Amino acid sequence: MMKKKFMSLMLVMAMVLSLAACGAKKEEAPASDAPASTPAAESGSAFKLGGTGPLTGGAAIYGTAAKNGATIAVDEINAMGGIQFDLKYEDDTHDAEKAVNAYNALKDWDMQISLGSVTSKPCEATAAETYADRIFALTPSASSTAVTEGKDNMFQMCFMDPNQGSASAQYIADKALATKVAVIWKNDDVYSKGIHDTFTAKANELGLEIVSDTTFADGNDTDFSVQLSGAQTNGADLVFLPMYYQPASLIFAQASSMNYAPKWFGVDGMDGILTMEGFDPALAEGVMLLTPFNADSTDERTASFVKAYQERFNEVPNQFAADAYDCVYAYKQALEAAGCTPDMSASDLCDKMVEQFTSMSFDGLTGEGMTWDASGAVSKSPKGMVIENGAYVGLD
Amino acid sequence: MANKLKTLSKTSRRNYLTYVLVILAYLVLQLLSGSLSSSLKGMLVPICAYVVMAISLNLTVGILGELSLGHAGFMSVGAFTGVTAAVALQGVIPIAPLRLAIGMVVGAAFAALAGFLIGIPVLRLKGDYLAIVTLAFGEIIKSIFNNLYVGMDGNGLHFSLLSDSTDLAEGGKLIIGGPMGIGGIQKISTFTAGFLLVMITLVVVFNLVNSRSGRAIMAIRDNRIAAESVGVNITKYKMMAFVTSAALAGSAGTLFAMNYSTIVANKFDFNTSILVLVFVVLGGQGNMLGSIVAAAALTILPEALRQFADYRMLVYAIVLILVMLATNNPSFKSFWSRITGKRDKKEAA
């Protein structure tokens, strides 16, 4: 009896270990496809570039996209010769505590330059760490103002939340998309709240009438009938959704079941809805969103990035992937311009990078002629997009 | 010395063993601090906070025998009030450890108040009501802090709910920003502060348990009717244990929050409460040393499993199941008692 139990325990252990081994192999497979990434792996010849992001859990689509985008850029750059990168992403499950743990794990790996964190709140926590440790960080997508506030070595590749809100209101007013607007937002989320506040302020200024302003929170984010009927009865002809794509997908489904079809307007968190598992893209037909990246662009660099991404990861890249891709190329440009070598210490690199980023201009997939001010915010212009036949199409 | 040890009761010996092990762990980690990985160093303070959480919940679950599913709610109260106090005093008290201590006391006081308030109706009832009410309490606290705005300027503190109408004067600073939580916290929590808090928690809990009140509390757990029949004031002693537990959780919350530059109310959700409950169940109900070990081990484990990448949480869950099976396995138990000798056998009997 006792032996039997012991045996079964051992068997379970063996199964777990073999499963884990499979997982590790699968993870490594794509990286080793690229011939150039092998020499870069040797220490001393490559810049150690690390980042944290939600690779598992509810926000995993963002972290995975950023990781994939950065991986493509690193492999391309390593194949070119010249500057070499060694990339490592750690999982932070969209949690500040885990993000600091992930950051410390990267520090143990001797990270030299950082890609910050993918989402806002974790990035606020890791930004304090990179600031204290003098490691330069450029986040692809953490858009809250608190991320860069008071830190000279923290830069953003994406718009700040307040800019997104006011840009959205400006866009709606400029294109005369609607006069009566409803807003549904998540009141326990930094990202949603930041955009909502600046959107409503700007909308009032521009004479857009906000007829319904309703909220939801974690835990009651599955039923939106109250918010939607509020918007419907108040006659809103456009609903602004400053939120991530999971609640938005439910909103679309419920609105369609109650035969409510206003214009929908989202922000960059909406990006990713088309690749969401189990979501019918037909529901998102006609949804407009403001994002700096257009996967359907005919621009040569974008097209080749989208092609490479599709080949390797079987999906259309979203804005997060493009932002992370741009981050790596921005690093390449800055490191080359400053004449940095991989044997330099993280704090030396940090000083050089601060100098470079505040003075250089960078052309990437998410914008031309991007510049950064000393606060770490980027200046670039957003693009309006609309979903047509299950794909993003530029509005202009 | 050896004679003196023998004359001590079994529980006292066990308590001293716990103290000694905690102090030893602290000294060893301090000596090794130069060679520790940043990963482990970064986890020391959260581990201390979780250890205090686990010990305090063990007081409610193991000693009082009531199930609490909202322990993270008290942690949240402690975190937000304690950090607010520490931030507000930043200009007045320049010494960081003192500010941290005041923050912890304030956090503990508010958490105790919250525990007292929900204890008044609930602890008079028989049955599992405490579990349900504390579950709701955790959610209520989360909603409150998600909608609370606290700002400070020259005129003192300003509060507002739902939207930011604090209307601060020039040079004012928003401390709690609703869903944004608290940002830009000065990191003043240290491992030494965490260690001291763990020691204080142990002293408080062990002395409470070994006192006349502690025996009354355990009598209520073991047989409520019998305890009532000999004149034990049920509500009073239940309240004593529950409020102590809440206060300790509050100070743990302050310690935890002051270790990160930012803290949001959503961090202290139902999952965190359950995580702490897992520490208690895994370590053994009523077993403080077990709680300490379980809290430390289960905080380090997910980080130690980082090389499994996407399968990390799967492996974590399986390890958890295996540990539960192993510690409850009779053959494992008999094997263990054979190693540790007579003492545990007597205990088992």
- ipTM for the assembly: 0.81
Least Cα separation, residue B239 to chain A (angstroms):
30
What's the CA gap between A31 and A40, in Å, rounded? 11
Q: Could you report the per-residue pLDDT of A210-219, keeping only the tens digit for each?
A: 888 888 877 7
Residues of B in contact with A103 (CB under 8 A): 42
Are the Cβ atoms of B38 and A104 closer than 8 angstroms? yes
SS (H, E, C) A237-285: CEEEECCCHHHHHHHHHHHHHCCCCCEEEECHHHCCHHHCCCCCHHHHC
Sheet of B148-153: strand order equals B156-161, B148-153, B173-177
Could you say which residues of chain A have pLDDT below 50?
A: 1, 18-42
Is A63 strand, coil or helix?
A: helix
Give the A window 14-33 contacts with B, CB below 8 Å: 16, 19-20, 23-24, 27
* Tokens standing for residue B60: 């409610």
Residue of A158, A168, A293 lying closest to A242 (CA atoms): A168
Q: Is B6 on the interface with A (CB under 8 A)?
A: no
Q: What is the pLDDT of residue A30?
A: 39
For residue B309, which amino acid is it? Answer: A
pLDDT digits (tens, 9 = 90+) for A50-99: 888 888 877 788 888 889 989 988 988 888 888 888 888 888 888 888 88
Question: B240, B243, B242, B267: which is closest to B80 by C-alpha?
Answer: B267
Domains of chain A: 46-159+301-380 (3.40.50.2300), 162-291 (3.40.50.2300)
Chain A, window 79-138: residues with a beta carbon less than 8 angstroms from a chain B beta carbon:
90-91, 95-97, 100-105, 107-108, 121, 124-125, 127-129, 132
Residue in B42, B184, B262 closest to A101 by CB: B42
* Least trusted range by pLDDT, from A6-10, B239-243, B293-297: A6-10
Q: Which of B32-41, B148-157, B229-238 has the lowest mean pLDDT?
A: B148-157
Q: What share of chain B is helix, strand, coil (3-state, %, to 5)?
A: 75, 5, 20
Q: Is pLDDT of B51 > 90?
A: yes
Tokens of B100: 């941290």
CB A200 within 8 A of CB A213: yes
CA-closest candidate to residue B181, choices B259, B263, B85: B263
Residue B154 burial class via C-beta count within 10 angstroms: exposed 0-12, middle 13-18, buried 19 and up:
exposed
Give pTM, 2 decimals.
0.79
| Mean pLDDT for the stretch of residues B261-269 | 86
- The distance of A396 to chain B (nearest Cα, Å) reads 34
Give the C-alpha distances (Å, rounded to integers) separating B109 from B61, B78, B243, B244, B285. 21, 8, 10, 10, 26
Among A95, A105, A192, beta carbon nearest to B303: A105
Provide the 10 A C-beta neighbour count for residue A21.
12
